[in-house]
């Protein structure tokens, strides 16, 4: 009935797997858990202990976030796949049961969402926490307004046959926006995405330095995606950063000067946990302009 797919990279998934198994025992359904480790450098010894109760695979080299998700198709035996990020924490006792209800309705794709801790962490993790709380922790009602634009890979259910038809873009080997592209591809194929109030907790917050670096990598990936889709105008509407970029493109020279002077200052404050989301979005916009500065007619 259901294959639960957890890609692993440098994380101990023992507690996540145990919490899922505790729910599965009471459901009396055909459910398997598949773990694929993307060539981690730590925690492999701990996670190997799960091979007695799960399908556990270790890859000899790192293949990236897109390709590893496609790889689960080779191991899953059931018609539905539930993908969870390895740093997820299940907070609902009927988390799996909620997805089974949608599965039995024949849903194509369903997303459960994510939430972040209510208590502010240390200043060293403030950027990740605040961005997550303000930009990613959205109710199902809000996410269903723009269902494809709200698609995230951290917690979603999909028909196996559909994923065999529409796979993740394997040319994206670095971090970021593979979910944005996938939501866009689903929309092009007229696939309806249902958003549920069935979130996981993202409690493993990154440091400001790591989160800022991953943000920059994601923007580079966004630039790469635009090349893959040949600058399809409809894709711009999927990403608020691109919509703003297009509106302000005529001010490129001014923004590049502004970026050169002020982005280092904004970065200084963000790294120290002095976080304003508007300034963070401005930083991302300036960064996009800086990597696109040599491209014409974009």
Which pTM does this prediction carry? 0.93
Q: What's the pLDDT tens digit per position in 230-258? A: 778 888 888 899 999 999 989 999 999 99
- The pLDDT confidence band at residue 183, using thresholds 50, 70 and 90, is very high
- CA-nearest of 51, 68, 49 to 8 is 68
d(CA 86, CA 98): 20
Q: Give 118: exposed, middle or buried? Use CB within 10 Å, 0-12, 13-18, 19+.
A: exposed
**pLDDT at 298 (0 to 100):** 44
Delineate the domains of the chain, giving CATH numbers in brackets.
2-205 (3.90.550.10), 210-292 (no CATH)
Share of the chain above pLDDT 70, in %: 98
d(CA 150, CA 143): 6
Q: What's the pLDDT tens digit per position in 10-63? A: 999 999 999 999 999 989 899 999 999 999 999 999 999 999 999 999 999 999
- The pLDDT confidence band at residue 113, using thresholds 50, 70 and 90, is very high
- The pLDDT confidence band at residue 71, using thresholds 50, 70 and 90, is very high
**pLDDT at 210 (0 to 100):** 96
What tokens appear for 47 in the block?
Answer: 């996670």
d(CA 171, CA 89): 29
**pLDDT at 293 (0 to 100):** 55
CA contacts within 13 A on the Cβ side of 142 = 8
Q: Give 297: exposed, middle or buried? Use CB within 10 Å, 0-12, 13-18, 19+.
A: exposed
**pLDDT at 102 (0 to 100):** 95
Does residue 230 come out as left (phi exceeding 0), alpha (psi in the -120 to 50 range) or beta? left
158, pLDDT greater than 70: yes
**pLDDT at 229 (0 to 100):** 86
Residues forming beta bridges with residue 115, ordered by sequence position = 201
DSSP 133: I
Query: What average pLDDT does the chain have?
Result: 93
């Amino acid at each position: 009935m259901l294959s639960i797919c957890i890609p692993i990279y440098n994380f101990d998934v023992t507690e996540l797997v145990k919490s899922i198994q505790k729910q599965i025992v009471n459901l009396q359904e055909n459910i398997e858990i598949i773990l694929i480790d993307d060539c981690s450098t730590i925690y492999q010894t701990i996670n190997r202990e799960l091979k007695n109760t799960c399908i556990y695979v270790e890859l000899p080299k790192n293949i990236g976030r897109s390709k590893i998700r496609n790889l689960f198709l080779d191991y899953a035996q059931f018609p539905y796949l539930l993908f969870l990020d390895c740093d997820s924490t299940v907070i609902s006792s009927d988390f799996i049961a909620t997805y089974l209800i949608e599965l039995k309705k024949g849903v194509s794709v369903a997303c459960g969402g994510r939430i972040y801790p209510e208590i502010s962490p240390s200043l060293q993790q403030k950027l990740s926490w605040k961005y997550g709380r303000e930009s990613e922790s959205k109710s199902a009602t809000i996410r269903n307004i723009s269902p494809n634009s709200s698609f995230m890979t951290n917690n979603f259910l999909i028909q196996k046959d559909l994923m065999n038809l529409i796979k993740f873009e394997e040319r994206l080997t670095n971090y970021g926006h593979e979910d944005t592209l996938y939501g866009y591809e689903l929309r092009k194929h007229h696939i309806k995405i249902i958003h549920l109030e069935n979130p996981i907790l993202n409690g493993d917050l990154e440091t400001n330095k790591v989160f800022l670096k991953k943000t920059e990598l994601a923007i580079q990936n966004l630039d790469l995606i635009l090349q893959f889709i040949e600058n399809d105008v409809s894709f711009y509407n999927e990403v608020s950063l691109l919509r703003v970029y297009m509106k302000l493109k005529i001010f490129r020279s001014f923004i590049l000067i502004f970026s050169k002077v002020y982005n280092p200052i904004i970065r200084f404050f963000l790294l120290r946990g002095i976080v304003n989301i508007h300034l963070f979005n401005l930083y991302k916009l300036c960064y996009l302009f800086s990597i696109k500065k040599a491209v014409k007619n974009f």
